[in-house]
């Protein structure tokens, strides 16, 4: 039986943080890395640096200065899939298929601005519409699938440092949580994070740059997720949030998630 490690990380500029990505891949022997917010067009993506480490199967969907997603793999991938769930051409999704038939869908959901009202803040409306398009897609998913990425929503009360203080803050509002719940139900997705770390244990993947000491304040949110169809979830044998990466030199404000599968 083969074991495979799949990681997901909002890196907040892959070129600016290439050193810590390289360190993470070497330390954790990752087989497939899904990145969000790469902030680089495909032509100048640092593919050679990943190829030197054995990641010779890249699938890219880049954009200049903003957004961007990528899948870097040591194992062969087929298909290069891109859904425009934002409906404006932004590079927020890329997908691929493993030789065993498992699909990997890597997504970067819009943050949604600061005001949780689509009438006052069009970005919030775009976020909700994005999730609605994902929901319609989820209803059609028939293959074994792993859906990963920065969803920009912390759904559970224990997914944020203070439910009371953040309930009206974009990323944890009831309307966003309800939208994410509909998305999860549409695909019967299994939340791997909460499978391995059941609620009500706190579980965070993001800490703001604004905190002078992020560990001391620990005002985190679980914005990053790994969901799987039931057949893929049954193959998951371990899941870890790599919190220590938040302490590395020039870190992202997100940390990587890793799930190990027995295929």
pLDDT in tens, the chain (263 residues): 689 999 999 999 999 999 999 999 999 999 999 999 999 999 999 999 999 999 999 999 999 989 999 999 999 999 888 999 999 999 999 999 999 999 999 999 999 999 999 999 999 999 999 999 999 999 999 999 999 999 999 999 999 999 999 999 999 999 999 999 999 999 999 999 999 999 999 999 999 999 989 999 999 999 999 999 999 999 999 999 999 999 999 999 999 999 999 98
Question: Prior bond to 200 cis, omega within 30?
Answer: yes
CATH number of the domain within which 132 lies = 3.60.10.10
Give the helix ranges, DSSP H, for 31-161.
47-51, 122-138
Both tokens assigned to 38: 């790469």
> What 3-state DSSP class applies to 36?
strand
Residues 6+ apart with CB under 8 A from 165: none
Q: Which domain holds residue 119?
A: 3-262
232, 144 contact by CB (below 8 A): yes
User: Rounded to whole angstroms, how far apart are CA atoms 167 and 216?
Assistant: 22
Q: For the chain, where are the alpha helices, taking DSSP H only?
A: 18-28, 47-51, 122-138, 163-166, 174-187, 192-196, 214-217, 230-233
246 neighbors 206 (Cβ within 8 angstroms): no
Quote the number of domains for the chain: 1
**Cα Rg for the chain, rounded, in angstroms?**
17
């Amino acid at each position: 039986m083969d074991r495979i490690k799949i990681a997901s990380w909002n890196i907040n500029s892959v070129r600016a943080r290439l050193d810590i990505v390289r360190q993470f891949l070497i330390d954790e022997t990752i087989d497939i890395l899904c990145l969000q917010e790469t902030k680089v067009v495909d032509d100048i993506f640092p593919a050679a640096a990943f190829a030197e480490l054995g990641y010779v199967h890249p699938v890219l969907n880049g954009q200049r200065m903003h957004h961007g997603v990528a899948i870097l793999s040591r194992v062969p991938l087929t298909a290069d899939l891109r859904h425009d769930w934002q409906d404006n051409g932004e590079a927020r999704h890329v997908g691929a298929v493993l030789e065993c038939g498992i699909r990997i869908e890597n997504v970067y959901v819009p943050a949604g601005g600061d005001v949780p009202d689509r009438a006052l803040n069009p970005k919030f409306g775009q976020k909700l519409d994005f999730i609605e398009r994902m929901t319609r897609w989820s209803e059609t998913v028939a293959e074994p699938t792993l859906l990963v990425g920065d969803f920009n929503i912390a759904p559970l009360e224990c997914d944020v440092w203070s439910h009371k203080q953040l309930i009206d803050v974009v990323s944890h509002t009831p309307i966003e949580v309800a939208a994410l719940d509909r998305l999860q139900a549409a695909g019967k997705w299994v939340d791997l994070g909460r499978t391995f770390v059941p609620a009500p244990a706190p579980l965070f993947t993001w800490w703001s740059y604004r905190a002078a000491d992020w560990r001391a304040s620990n005002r985190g949110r679980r914005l990053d997720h790994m969901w799987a169809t039931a057949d893929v979830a049954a193959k998951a044998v371990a899941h870890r949030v790599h919190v220590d990466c938040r302490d590395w030199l020039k870190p992202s404000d997100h940390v990587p998630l890793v799930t190990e599968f027995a295929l």
